[in-house]
A and B are shown apart, each in its own frame.
Chain A
Amino acid sequence: MRERTLIWSVVIFILATIAVVANLDLVVSGYKHPPALLRLLQPHLEPARRSLHLREGLDLKGGLQVLLQAEQQGAVPVTAELLERAKAIIENRVNGLGVTEPVVQTQGEDKIVVELPGVSDPDQAIQTIGKTALLEFIYSGTEALAPSTIVETTNPLTIDLLPEGYQEPYLGNPDNPARDFPESWVKPEDVVMPGRGVNPTRLAPTPDANATAASAATPITGTSPTTTTASTDEVTATEGVTATDGTTATTGTTATLPTTSTAAADATTPVTATDALTATEPISTGIIASDETLYPTVLTGDELASASVTLDENLQYAVSFQVKSSAAARMQRFTSQHLQKVMPIILDNAVISSPTLQGAIGAEGQITGQFTKADAESLAAQINSGSLPLKLKVVGQTAIGPTLGSSAISSAVNGGVLGLLIVMLFMLLYYRVPGIVANVALLLYTLFSLTIFRMLPVTLTLAGIAGFVLSIGMAVDANILIFERMKEELRAGRRIAKAMESGFERAWPSIRDSNASTLITCVILFWFGNQFGASIVKGFAVTLALGVLTSMFTAIIVTRLLLKASHSLGLHEGDDGVGVLESSRLRAMFGI
């Protein structure tokens, strides 16, 4: 029995020492936590991320919270795996923004919440994290595209729109590791622009298109048994591929046809709408910068190894990049064969710049385009993190200026300290000696809780602080239950040591059950907050739950130990043979 008491005393003493050292920064300005303490308390974190300072949430130090919802992209459904990938990419981008302590978490089945404390420009941050950020180098022949023009390309995301047989050149790993353009594509005069495979609902042949198609290739007309475009009952299909010399769009000679031409050439075979190569618009090599034109993608951002912000020769911000070795040869070959032609660089289908190829680009190059510093940083971060596999929509946003938060924190902290003092005063006056013991336990509780917040770490929000302060009020609940029981036992004439024991014993079921009910609601609150990125709700649930658990330790084990200690120190002298009730001194000590 004595041994166990001794062991607990040592354990609590060590824990208390650690807690004091961890919280020294509250009183000593400029205090740095010793590295050994970081290693001891945060073995679960990477060394670079270890830090024992109290983390303030968005509502305290300002910042941005964005809730993004994933939308289905083409035929690819939103899966947990894709969401995780998108999350990892966003994390990289956020790190590229230089935000300290960002939080990126998936929420529910299709949402990602991003919290960026202290971000000064929320709008720019949203741009950076939420964009698909598919960077493409495309080919537009001799035409320079104006910045911000929206263009359609043969990029991997639209690949399923391409007719079969045209897809191969664009398919990346792993299906076609040697992704390359057909031989015919790498000579400028042979650059081919396939017509777009059109989905059935768009299959409304215009006379214009028919005429064009007729002049360009053999039209194949057949009744499609599967198509729903019954209004025309006709599916017009042309081979849709015209090789031109780069200037005349529709009058060029018919180009080599990929494999699908065999099916199309047989007029007796019903042609289904989705397989049809339909030219519902003039086929061009990119002379007409309309969204009807499909520009060939030469290289995507995924094929870049790294990017960084630099200054170009005019001292404008630019982004320099390195091409991955797997793609460098192709880039080299393509650019050297297309000198003096335009290779626009586009991001999410919007043109950034339209440089003319002055020389071949091999392993590295530079993107220029009237960037601000923030633009360039954001683009570099996006290239380095890769493009998102999902399209993300902003469905919720909270931006909080720094001034609002700092006034809130001081008021909450002042309130908390005042509340703590009142509770301690009350305990002292009402319960006397046990009250002092409870107050020591309460101080330890506060220190332990703060240390746990630092350790995990828990990000403190206003509601979190409220939850913590509330848990201070509740932490003494266990003590009140125990002491009330003790008083009852003492009034019934029991000896002090016996009264203490049965006080703890009898109060235990109440303490257990009531705390269990609070923990149940905490779990449900956490679940509720987790569904839609309400970190404010989660923060409250976490601090309250940690508070309940910690208080069970301090209010029961610590209090018991201290009471025993006070007993063996002889504070209650005169207890021998005399009931408490007979001694006025003892009555005063226990507030009876």
Chain B
Amino acid sequence: MFDIIGKRYWFIAFSALILVPGLISIVLNGIPVSIDYKGGTVYYMEFDAGTAVTDADVSAVYAAQGFEDAQVVTVVAKEGAAPGFQVRSTEILPEGKAALDAALVTAIGPHKTLRFESVGASVGRLVTQNATLAVLFSAIMICLYLTVQFRHLQHPLRYGVAAIVALLHDVLLVLGVASLMGHFFGWEVDALFLTALLTVIGFSVHDSIVVFDRIRENSGRLRGMAYDRIVNHSIVQTLDRSINTQLTALFTLVAIYVFSTGQLQRFLFWLIIGLISGTYSSIANAAPILVIWANREWKSWFGRGKDDSLVTAG
């Protein structure tokens, strides 16, 4: 039988290890946010096939229209194909777009709008504010729900808090990866990223709940068994389910991931990372935290530096 609780500090150390690179990156590079949060315009245009145009040409037209800060990325530059560009700039208002389109036609040639996305700075601020609220609020609500559901056990609040710590692990991991991806591949965090993050939060708790539920049931049936044994027993009993559920969700996510591109693919990427992290953290963090808390093991962390001496205390 697996002894996950006995190796709880190893699992927690592993969590810390995978969190560290991302956290360092967050401190050094921050998390690059998209126009959804800071306002601005992304314009994805496609010129007619055969138009001779480089990103510098597009930049020049933007600059002439007063958007000197425009960042032009060439999306399609194959011989004979229709050249496509994605341009980020400060917010372009509807009148501005008409003028810009006219200038692009004059300077370069006819083009199609594949995607034009514009967010006002005030809306961006609102989104950022609400995003923070949404994450905090969902964490609090879930903590409350768990505390109420586990109220018949001793220390119901511990279950809520342990689930939130596991959830924090997942949120920090996804944010850290976002920062790394932003630094190395120029990915930006958009409204869909937050959607993925909130879904991960829901899922992470999903897994924690199933383990906690088993602990609740076993606490009633296996009176007299040490608490850490009950917890370990519960983890092992639910392991099949945790892995299988994880697998079926991953099957579907990976399947669409393979077929999709762009924004949607990134959305699925965040979901996949978060889901794996969610299952890991509920088994390897949430449940062990219950044991650590029950044993008050932190008293021995600094005193003796040994962690396996209080395992059977219950």
Asked, given contacts A415-B258, A470-B252, A473-B252, whether A524 binds B137 with beta carbons under 8 Å apart, the answer is: yes
Asked, given contacts A415-B259, A422-B255, A521-B199, whether A510 binds B142 with beta carbons under 8 Å apart, the answer is: no
Q: How far is the CB of A313 from chain B (nearest CB, A)?
A: 31
- Among A421-451, those with CB < 8 Å from B are 422-423, 426-427, 430
Q: How far is the CB of B85 from chain A (nearest CB, A)?
A: 14
B259, A414: Cβ atoms closer than 8 Å = yes
Using C-beta atoms within 8 Å of the partner chain, give the interface range for chain A. 35 or more
- Among B84-141, those with CB < 8 Å from A are 93-94, 97-98, 101, 112-120, 122-123, 126-127, 130-131, 133-134, 137-138, 141
Q: How far is the CB of A305 from chain B (nearest CB, A)?
A: 31
Q: How far is the CB of A147 from chain B (nearest CB, A)?
A: 18
A426, B251: Cβ atoms closer than 8 Å = yes
A411, B259: Cβ atoms closer than 8 Å = yes
CA of A481 to CA of B244 in the docked complex: distance in angstroms?
A: 9
- Contact of A522 with B by CB under 8 A: yes
- Among B248-275, those with CB < 8 Å from A are 248-264, 267-268, 271
Across the two chains, which residue of chain A brings its CB closest to B243? A480
A469, B145: Cβ atoms closer than 8 Å = no
- Contact of B210 with A by CB under 8 A: yes
Could you say which residues of chain A place their CB within 8 Å of the CB of B142? 517, 520-521
Which of B26-34, B65-73, B189-197 lies on the face that meets chain A? B189-197
Asked, given contacts A395-B122, A521-B201, A531-B130, whether A480 binds B241 with beta carbons under 8 Å apart, the answer is: yes
Q: Is the interface of A mostly helix, strand, loop or mixed?
A: helix
Could you say which residues of chain B place their CB within 8 Å of the CB of A412? 256, 259-260, 264
Could you say which residues of chain B place their CB within 8 Å of the CB of A67? 120, 123
Could you say which residues of chain B place their CB within 8 Å of the CB of A465? 256
CA of A366 to CA of B207 in the docked complex: distance in angstroms?
A: 69
Q: How far is the CB of A436 from chain B (nearest CB, A)?
A: 16
Asked, given contacts A415-B257, A540-B195, whether A520 binds B116 with beta carbons under 8 Å apart, the answer is: no
- Among A195-241, those with CB < 8 Å from B are none
- Contact of B198 with A by CB under 8 A: yes
- Contact of B245 with A by CB under 8 A: yes
Using C-beta atoms within 8 Å of the partner chain, give the interface range for chain B. 35 or more
Q: How far is the CB of A60 from chain B (nearest CB, A)?
A: 11
CA of A408 to CA of B209 in the docked complex: distance in angstroms?
A: 35
- Contact of B62 with A by CB under 8 A: no
Q: How far is the CB of B312 from chain A (nearest CB, A)?
A: 26
Asked, given contacts A67-B123, A401-B112, A524-B141, whether A419 binds B252 with beta carbons under 8 Å apart, the answer is: yes
- Contact of A527 with B by CB under 8 A: yes
Could you say which residues of chain A place their CB within 8 Å of the CB of B249? 470, 473-474, 477
Across the two chains, which residue of chain A brings its CB closest to B120? A395
The 0/1 profile, CB within 8 Å of B marked 1, for residues 126-145 of chain A is 11001000000000000000
- Contact of B55 with A by CB under 8 A: no
- Contact of A358 with B by CB under 8 A: no
Could you say which residues of chain B place their CB within 8 Å of the CB of A130? 94
Asked, given contacts A394-B94, A398-B117, A472-B252, whether A514 binds B205 with beta carbons under 8 Å apart, the answer is: yes
Asked, given contacts A469-B252, A532-B127, whether A398 binds B247 with beta carbons under 8 Å apart, the answer is: no
B256, A419: Cβ atoms closer than 8 Å = yes
Could you say which residues of chain A place their CB within 8 Å of the CB of B195? 463, 525, 529, 536-537, 540-541
- Contact of A418 with B by CB under 8 A: yes
- Contact of B300 with A by CB under 8 A: no
A463, B264: Cβ atoms closer than 8 Å = yes
A403, B114: Cβ atoms closer than 8 Å = yes
- Contact of B203 with A by CB under 8 A: yes
Could you say which residues of chain B place their CB within 8 Å of the CB of A532? 123, 126-127, 130
Could you say which residues of chain B place their CB within 8 Å of the CB of A466? 256, 264, 267-268, 271
CA of A529 to CA of B198 in the docked complex: distance in angstroms?
A: 12
CA of A544 to CA of B201 in the docked complex: distance in angstroms?
A: 14
Q: Is the interface of B mostly helix, strand, loop or mixed?
A: helix
CA of A528 to CA of B137 in the docked complex: distance in angstroms?
A: 11
Across the two chains, which residue of chain B brings its CB closest to A508? B213
CA of A48 to CA of B115 in the docked complex: distance in angstroms?
A: 32
Could you say which residues of chain B place their CB within 8 Å of the CB of A408? 260-262, 264
B267, A399: Cβ atoms closer than 8 Å = no
Across the two chains, which residue of chain A brings its CB closest to B163? A517
Could you say which residues of chain B place their CB within 8 Å of the CB of A540? 192, 195, 199
A528, B131: Cβ atoms closer than 8 Å = yes
A520, B251: Cβ atoms closer than 8 Å = no
CA of A426 to CA of B249 in the docked complex: distance in angstroms?
A: 11
CA of A416 to CA of B254 in the docked complex: distance in angstroms?
A: 10
- A534 interface neighbour in B118, B191, B268, Cβ under 8 Å: B191
B198, A423: Cβ atoms closer than 8 Å = no
Could you say which residues of chain B place their CB within 8 Å of the CB of A477? 206, 245, 248-249
Could you say which residues of chain B place their CB within 8 Å of the CB of A541? 195
Which of A126, A415, A469 has the most chain B CB within a 10 Å cutoff?
Answer: A415
A397, B210: Cβ atoms closer than 8 Å = no
Could you say which residues of chain A place their CB within 8 Å of the CB of B210? 481, 510, 514
A122, B199: Cβ atoms closer than 8 Å = no
- B251 interface neighbour in A404, A473, A536, Cβ under 8 Å: A473
- Contact of B6 with A by CB under 8 A: no
Could you say which residues of chain A place their CB within 8 Å of the CB of B36? 534
B251, A422: Cβ atoms closer than 8 Å = yes
Could you say which residues of chain A place their CB within 8 Å of the CB of B3? none
- Contact of B156 with A by CB under 8 A: no
CA of A513 to CA of B250 in the docked complex: distance in angstroms?
A: 21
Could you say which residues of chain A place their CB within 8 Å of the CB of B138? 520-521, 524
- Among B11-68, those with CB < 8 Å from A are 36, 44, 46
B248, A476: Cβ atoms closer than 8 Å = yes
- Contact of A244 with B by CB under 8 A: no
A488, B237: Cβ atoms closer than 8 Å = yes
Which of B44, B93, B117, B245 has the most chain A CB within a 10 Å cutoff?
Answer: B245
Q: How far is the CB of B276 from chain A (nearest CB, A)?
A: 13
A397, B118: Cβ atoms closer than 8 Å = yes
A528, B130: Cβ atoms closer than 8 Å = yes
- Among A354-394, those with CB < 8 Å from B are 394
A525, B123: Cβ atoms closer than 8 Å = no
Q: How far is the CB of B57 from chain A (nearest CB, A)?
A: 21
Could you say which residues of chain B place their CB within 8 Å of the CB of A420? 252
- Contact of A291 with B by CB under 8 A: no
B94, A430: Cβ atoms closer than 8 Å = no
Q: How far is the CB of A370 from chain B (nearest CB, A)?
A: 18
Could you say which residues of chain A place their CB within 8 Å of the CB of B131? 528
- Contact of B79 with A by CB under 8 A: no
CA of A420 to CA of B256 in the docked complex: distance in angstroms?
A: 10
Q: How far is the CB of A283 from chain B (nearest CB, A)?
A: 34
- Among B299-314, those with CB < 8 Å from A are none
Could you say which residues of chain A place their CB within 8 Å of the CB of B126? 108, 531-532
Binding site for B on A (CB under 8 A): 67, 69, 108, 122-123, 126-127, 130, 394-401, 403-404, 408, 411-412, 414-416, 418-420, 422-423, 426-427, 430, 462-463, 465-466, 469-470, 472-474, 476-477, 480-481, 484, 488, 506, 509-510, 513-514, 516-518, 520-522, 524-525, 527-529, 531-532, 534, 536-537, 540-541, 544
**Can you list 17 residue pairs at the A/B interface with Cβ under 8 Å?**
A395-B120, A399-B113, A401-B113, A401-B114, A403-B114, A415-B256, A469-B253, A469-B256, A473-B251, A473-B253, A480-B244, A481-B245, A509-B216, A514-B206, A520-B202, A528-B194, A540-B199
Binding site for A on B (CB under 8 A): 36, 44, 46, 93-94, 97-98, 101, 112-120, 122-123, 126-127, 130-131, 133-134, 137-138, 141-142, 145-146, 149, 191-192, 194-195, 198-199, 201-203, 205-207, 209-210, 213-214, 216-217, 237-238, 240-241, 244-245, 247-264, 267-268, 271
Known pairs A470-B249, A518-B206 / 8 extra A-B pairs, C-beta < 8 Å:
A67-B123, A123-B97, A408-B260, A419-B253, A470-B252, A480-B241, A484-B240, A540-B199
